[in-house]
Amino acid sequence: MKTPINYLLLSLLTLISLSSFRDGNETVQKLDARLYNIANTHKVKLMVDSGTDSNLKIVLKGKDRTTYYSEFYNPKGQKYSRVFNMDEMNEGVYYFEVYYKKQKLVKEVKIQQNYEKMIAVL
């Protein structure tokens, strides 16, 4: 009689152990974003890596918190990649805010105009 009870107790402990192991190792999908300046243009490319089980929200805001662009994106297995033309934007600081589930990531863009003095010899 002792053997079936030990076997039952061992089975029960193994089951509890495996279920707690599974719950403790759920993978958390991390949000990652990169912002690139496209050479010789006034454009930037935003690339976002995230999971595919929830929508992304992309927002472009100014330093004064004015929203210039907002988009919801459903990944469907695809990574987010978009080119933004900053040519019409005024000089200043802008923020790309990327939301995925409860995560938020902010990337900063600073627009400056450099005026160069040109001297021509005639």
* pLDDT, tens digit, 9 for 90 and up, residues 26-62: 455 788 889 988 888 888 999 998 877 788 999 999 9
Cβ atoms of 58 and 71 within 8 Å: the answer is yes
Domain boundaries, the chain: 32-111
**32-111: CATH number:** 2.60.40.3080
- Cα angle 7, 13, 16 (rounded to 5 degrees) comes to 140
d(CA 18, CA 21): 5
Instruction: Report DSSP state, residue 41.
Output: S
Give the full edge-to-edge strand order of the sheet including 56-62: 67-73, 56-62, 92-100, 103-111
Cβ atoms of 109 and 94 within 8 Å: the answer is yes
Joined together, the tokens standing for residue 33 give: 């974003």
* pLDDT, tens digit, 9 for 90 and up, residues 53-110: 788 999 999 999 999 999 999 877 788 899 999 888 888 899 999 999 889 999 999 8
pTM: 0.68
**What is the sign of the dihedral through the CA atoms of 81, 30, 15 and 10?**
positive
